C-alpha cells in the first residue's frame, strides 16, 4: 500500500512540474507564482509603487477644450482653496473623474514605525467649467 501511495505521489509531482514548465515556455503567460525578485526584499514603499504601476486606469483629460480648466489648473485651484504653501509636505493627487468633475485626494505622508502612511486631509471635486470646488467623502 505504501508503494502504491508513493507511486501516486511521485506521478502527481511529476505532472505538476510538467505543467509549470510548459507555462514558462514562450507563448504561455507567466505563472502567478513568478515574481520579479532579485534577492532583496522590497520595502513597503517600493511594493506600493510597484502595485500602482501594475494597474492602468483611464484617467485621461476629457475636458481639454477652450473655457475649461485643465487638470493642472484645477490642482492649483485646490491648492489655493486650502491655502497651502509650497513648503508644506502635502500631496494633491489627481484620482480621476467623478462624473465630469476632477477628483483630487489631498493627503500628507507621515511615518509610523518607519513606514509611510497617508494622512488624508480630504477629497475635493473641481468643476472643469466653473472651477467650483466641493468637498466629497470617498
pTM score, whole prediction: 0.51
Residue 81 lies in a domain: yes
Residue 65 lies in a domain: no
What percent of the chain has pLDDT above 90? 25
Host domain of residue 27: 2-54
Residue 19 lies in a domain: yes
Cα atoms in the Cβ-side hemisphere of radius 13 Å centred on 86: 0
Q: Do 90 and 42 share a domain, yes or no?
A: no
Question: Residue 31: pLDDT above 70?
Answer: no
Could you give the 3-state DSSP secondary structure of residue 78? helix
Residue 59 lies in a domain: no
Q: How many domains does the chain have?
A: 2
Residue 92 lies in a domain: yes
pLDDT at 56: 47
Residue 125 lies in a domain: yes
Distances (CA, A) of 37 to 20, 42, 54, 137: 18, 9, 16, 38
Cβ-count burial 79-107 (b if 16+ within 10 Å, e if not): beeeeeeeeeeeebebeebeeebbbbbbb
Q: Encode pLDDT of 91-118 as tens digits.
A: 899 999 988 899 999 998 888 888 888 8
Question: Residue 88: pLDDT above 80?
Answer: no
Determine the average pLDDT of the residues in 32-48.
Answer: 61
Residue 66 lies in a domain: no
Sign of CA dihedral 55, 58, 64, 67: negative
Which among 72, 65, 74 has a CA at the least distance from the CA of 127?
Answer: 74
Residue 10 lies in a domain: yes
Strand 90-98 vs strand 115-126: parallel, antiparallel, or unpaired? unpaired
Q: Do 92 and 36 share a domain, yes or no?
A: no
pLDDT at 18: 54
Q: How confident is the model at residue 11 (pLDDT cuts 50, 70, 90)?
A: confident
Could you give the 3-state DSSP secondary structure of residue 87? coil
Question: Residue 86: pLDDT above 70?
Answer: yes
Q: Do 117 and 86 share a domain, yes or no?
A: yes
pLDDT at 8: 76
Q: Do 82 and 107 share a domain, yes or no?
A: yes
88 or 51, higher pLDDT:
88
Amino acid at each position: 500500500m505504501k508503494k502504491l501511495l508513493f507511486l501516486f505521489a511521485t506521478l502527481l509531482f511529476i505532472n505538476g512540474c510538467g505543467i509549470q514548465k510548459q507555462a514558462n515556455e514562450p507563448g504561455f503567460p507567466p505563472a502567478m507564482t513568478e515574481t520579479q525578485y532579485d534577492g532583496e526584499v522590497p520595502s513597503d514603499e517600493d511594493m506600493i509603487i510597484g502595485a500602482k504601476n501594475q494597474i492602468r486606469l483611464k484617467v485621461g483629460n476629457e475636458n481639454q477644450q477652450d473655457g475649461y480648466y485643465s487638470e493642472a489648473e484645477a490642482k492649483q485651484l485646490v491648492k489655493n482653496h486650502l491655502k497651502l504653501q509650497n513648503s508644506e509636505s502635502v500631496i494633491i493627487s489627481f484620482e480621476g473623474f467623478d462624473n465630469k468633475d476632477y477628483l483630487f485626494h489631498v493627503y500628507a505622508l507621515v511615518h509610523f514605525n518607519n513606514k509611510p502612511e497617508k494622512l488624508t486631509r480630504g477629497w475635493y471635486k473641481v468643476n472643469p467649467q466653473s472651477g467650483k470646488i466641493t468637498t466629497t467623502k470617498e
